[in-house]
Amino acid sequence: MAFLYRLLPPRPTFSQDMSPAEAEVMERHVAYWQDLLNRDVALAFGPVLHPEDPWGLGLLELEDEPAAQAIGEGDPAVQTGTCKYELVPMQLVRAG
């Protein structure tokens, strides 16, 4: 089953004005998602650069929603209270 993970920053300007402590959390967030990508748990991740409403995107392929929620709750950006997240089940279409 596939899920869209939407990481919600605390403010629209977050990527431009994060504090040093927030930047450290986001470095851990990127490392966490890179590990998920390396283990083929995440299919892709990265920032959505919408000018008024930026957010982070992760695509997950897991067995069920509790497994996806565990990924979300384990994200350092969420664990520290820096960001919130939403999960949306999706139907994944692959090329070929």
**Whether pLDDT at 80 is above 80:** yes
User: pLDDT value at position 51?
Assistant: 86
Total structural domains in the chain? Answer: 1
Give me the domain span that covers residue 36. 2-90
Q: 13-42 pLDDT, tens per residue? A: 999 999 999 999 999 999 999 999 999 999
> Is 13 exposed, middle or buried (CB count within 10 Å of its CB: 0-12, 13-18, 19+)?
exposed
User: pLDDT value at position 96?
Assistant: 74
Q: What is the average pLDDT score of the chain?
A: 95
Which residues pair with residue 6 across a beta bridge? 57, 86
Any domain includes 58: yes
Any domain includes 96: no
Any domain includes 95: no
Any domain includes 74: yes
Any domain includes 52: yes
Any domain includes 81: yes
User: pLDDT value at position 95?
Assistant: 79
Average pLDDT in the 38-48 region?
95
Average pLDDT in the 53-82 region?
96
Any domain includes 45: yes
Q: What is the CATH number of the domain that holds 33?
A: 3.30.70.1060
Model confidence at 43, in pLDDT bands (50, 70, 90)?
very high
**Angle at 65 (CA atoms; ends 38, 95), nearest 5 degrees:** 55
